[in-house]
């Protein structure tokens, strides 16, 4: 029987234990978008054309929801477990073990969990107080807030994170050259839509995972029969990915928007940055994920 050979890397520990990559820097990005209800000055704002045809964009992934199976929990209380007894000695032992874990020296290297990259979060950490204060002001209307983890790739490799809310949206690109840079686009009242590009997120994560494998990890050849390789059971489309795919007939990458903010800026990490426009306000915090 003919067989296929491929090179596979065997790990003593789980892949996540090697998730530190010297070449990648991971950042948390927090974003607030609001509308300025009072126009200051005599500037006449005209509608603008926004062209996203040559933009590489991705949509943030929805965070998986954990559902509690109440029925199974209820059934678990219907059984007696006479052999399960927790005494004071057991509790003391657990406390001692926890103290030992807490006393262990921290790892010298920061571990990066690329599986969380581009996963949408609603909670704000650095910008929460600013959001609440702006929300109380009558001259502003809060439009959107979001946060996510991502790496700082090169300018050519970094996609724009595209987030739509109503008929408004923003595109944010964080990349690393000699310094960190932010490219920010925000608009109000436009009919635009791009692909979700979830495959690109997978590619970015996988590339980071490959770079994170230590050089001293042994590689071995593993033989897999052609029967298995050709089986329909090997490769399947994940249901959630298939459902999230975009109908390309709905993609609109060129259109008119009523108000447009477009700015590029060199930044430093662990700072908050304000992008101003007579009608749009965007506040972005970029900080080290370990903070």
Greater model confidence, 214 or 279: 279
User: CB count, 10 Å around CB of 107?
Assistant: 8
The pLDDT > 90 percentage for the chain reads: 53
Mean pLDDT of 142-170: 96
pLDDT tens by residue, 177-225: 999 999 999 999 999 999 899 999 999 999 988 887 776 666 556 666 6
Closest by CA position to 128, among listed 272, 281, 278: 272
On the question of pLDDT at 116 being above 90, the answer is yes
Q: What is the pLDDT of residue 244?
A: 46
On the question of pLDDT at 40 being above 80, the answer is no
Could you say which DSSP state residue 262 is in? E
- The mean-pLDDT minimum among 9-18, 123-132, 164-173, 197-206 falls in 9-18
Q: Mean pLDDT of all residues in the chain?
A: 78
- The mean-pLDDT minimum among 158-167, 246-255, 275-284 falls in 246-255
Residue 229: pLDDT band (50, 70, 90) is low
- The mean-pLDDT minimum among 8-17, 62-71, 143-152, 163-172 falls in 8-17
- The mean-pLDDT minimum among 48-57, 73-82, 246-255, 272-281 falls in 73-82
Mean pLDDT of 111-120: 89
Long-range contacts of 207-211, Cβ-Cβ distance < 8 Å, separation of 24 or more: 208/21, 208/24, 208/112, 208/114, 208/117, 208/151, 209/15, 209/19, 209/114, 211/21, 211/23, 211/24
Residue 108: pLDDT band (50, 70, 90) is very low
Pairwise CA distance, residues 215 & 278, whole Å? 52
Greater model confidence, 31 or 63: 31
Q: What is the pLDDT of residue 223?
A: 63
On the question of pLDDT at 279 being above 50, the answer is yes
Mean pLDDT of 70-80: 57
Could you say which DSSP state residue 11 is in? -
Pairwise CA distance, residues 59 & 76, whole Å? 40
Q: What is the pLDDT of residue 61?
A: 95
Closest by CA position to 186, among listed 56, 62, 280: 280
Closest by CA position to 4, among listed 219, 226, 233: 226
């Amino acid at each position: 029987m003919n067989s296929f050979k491929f090179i596979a890397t065997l790990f003593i520990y789980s892949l996540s234990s090697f998730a530190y990559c010297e070449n990648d820097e991971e950042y948390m990005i927090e974003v607030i978008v609001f509308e300025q209800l009072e126009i200051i000055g005599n500037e006449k704002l005209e509608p603008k054309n926004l062209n996203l045809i040559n933009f590489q964009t991705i949509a943030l992934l929805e965070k998986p929801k954990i559902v509690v199976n109440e029925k199974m929990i209820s059934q678990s209380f219907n059984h007696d477990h006479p052999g399960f007894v927790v005494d004071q000695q057991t509790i003391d032992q657990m406390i001692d073990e926890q103290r030992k874990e807490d006393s262990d020296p921290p790892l010298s290297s920061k571990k990066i969990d690329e599986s969380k990259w581009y996963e949408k979060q609603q909670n704000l950490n650095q910008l929460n107080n600013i959001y609440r204060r702006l929300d109380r002001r009558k001259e502003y209307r809060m439009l959107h807030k979001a946060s996510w983890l991502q790496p700082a790739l090169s300018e050519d490799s970094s996609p724009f994170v595209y987030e739509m809310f109503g008929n408004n949206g923003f595109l944010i690109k964080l990349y690393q050259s000699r310094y960190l840079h932010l490219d920010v686009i925000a608009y109000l009242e436009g009919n635009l839509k791009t692909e979700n590009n979830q495959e690109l997120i997978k590619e970015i994560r996988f590339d980071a995972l490959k770079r994170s494998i230590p050089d001293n990890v042994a590689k071995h050849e593993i033989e897999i029969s052609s029967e298995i390789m050709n089986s329909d059971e090997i490769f399947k489309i994940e249901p959630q990915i298939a459902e999230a795919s975009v109908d390309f007939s709905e993609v609109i990458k060129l259109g008119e928007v009523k108000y447009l903010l477009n700015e590029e800026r060199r930044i430093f990490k662990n700072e908050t940055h304000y992008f101003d426009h007579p009608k749009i306000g965007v506040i972005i915090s970029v900080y080290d994920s370990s903070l």
